Amino acid sequence: MKFRDILLLMACGLFFYACKKPETGFLSDRLFYRNNPFAASLGRVTTSLPIEADGSTVPLNVKLLAVRDKNGAPATKLTTEYEIAIYKGEIVATDTTLAQLGAKLGVAKYKPFNVNPIGGRLEVTPASVYADTGTYDFDIEVSNVKGTRQLNSIAKIRLTPAVDSQITRQFASTSTPGQELIFTTQSAFSVTVQRIPGPNRIIIKFVDKNGNKWNPLNNEVIPRVSLPLVTQVGLRYAFKQFNPYYNEVKTDTALVYEYPAKTPTFPLFTLNNAYTVSYRIPNNFNDLNLNINPEFGIRLYPLNVPYVDGTWIITNKINFAARL
């Protein structure tokens, strides 16, 4: 073959290569979830990381195809819509009336388990209170500009029993009357949360080492005042500031509060980025002759229904002192 013919063939090859339509995008065959198994408690909002794209062209569009229980049967409770309480807006401390609160709370229908259509993030919603504990697997369809791929049994979901409350703060100290600078931490202090059937009510008790209850009605338990500091460090709150919707009721054994119906959690907002409340048992009501300063923080969650309900008993057990 003459050299001229070889050059002609090379030129033709380059021409046809240049005219070939370039391939668009990439869809990996190694997509996976880093959160596997994906664990969540019934009734609690829980989300995973997005699906690992492994270099695939984004965005990835993801569709849930099926969910199965450990026996391979369709998990219809996870894919059925249920009515739950939702936030329609951010609730803040200045929303002090039931009317203001009602404008920011509502109900809507959600499935207990969803896969976000963009990126594939796994989502367990408060509607999961209607589902059963256990381990499930699921199939998804993933697509992008390159094409579509079906991934069967890509990961597992593990649903655990509901957690109805959380203690966010548990602390106590003692101090000499008349000063707010020197405090001694006391470790023999505990906070317990108990839910019982009954009206929407929160009962807060302060109990000594012998099981005797201090009397809020007699000012044996009082809120601690904020320190006169410029920074936020010295700010202190009482529980009634987290629950401005109803009056505080003092009895000879407890502080009692109603709370609103059909709230997703309670309290509904933070103060100084926390749920902490601070109280004092004055020195003349305990055998230490010191001020006792218990602090606690709680969050209440739905149990078997998609909103907080029932009567809650919060007990502050002061195991290092006795009531006089």
As a whole-number percent, the residues of the chain with pLDDT over 90 amount to 86
Q: How high is the mean pLDDT of the chain?
A: 92
CA nearest to 220, candidates 175, 287, 276, 280: 280
Instruction: For 72-131, write each residue's pLDDT tens digit.
Output: 999 999 999 999 999 999 999 999 999 999 999 999 999 999 999 999 999 999 999 999
Distant-in-sequence, close-in-space partners of 19: CB < 8 Å, separation ≥ 6: none
Chain Cα centroid distance, residue 93 = 19
Pairing of strands 134-143, 122-124: unpaired
CA dist., res. 164 & res. 303, Å (int): 6
Reported as type and span, the H/E element at residue 104 is none
- Amino acid 304: pLDDT: 86
- Amino acid 18: pLDDT: 47
Supply φ then ψ for residue 284, to 5 degrees: -80, 5
Q: Which domains does the chain have, with CATH numbers?
A: 33-160 (2.60.40.2710), 165-318 (no CATH)
Q: Which DSSP string corresponds to 45-91? A: -EE-PPPB-TTPPSPPEEEEEEEE-TTS-B-HHHHS-EEEEEESS--
At 262, is the pLDDT very low, low, confident or very high (cuts 50, 70, 90)?
Answer: very high
Indicate whether 3 pLDDT > 60.
no
Q: Are 94 and 316 in contact (CB under 8 A)?
A: no
pTM of the model: 0.84
Instruction: For 4-59, write each residue's pLDDT tens digit.
Output: 555 455 555 554 444 445 568 999 999 999 999 999 999 999 999 999 999 999 99
As a whole-number percent, the residues of the chain with pLDDT over 70 amount to 91
CA nearest to 236, candidates 293, 265, 178, 278: 278
- Amino acid 143: pLDDT: 98
At 229, is the pLDDT very low, low, confident or very high (cuts 50, 70, 90)?
Answer: low
Q: Which of residues 11 and 240 earns the better pLDDT score?
A: 240
- Amino acid 288: pLDDT: 98
- Amino acid 276: pLDDT: 97
- Amino acid 225: pLDDT: 86
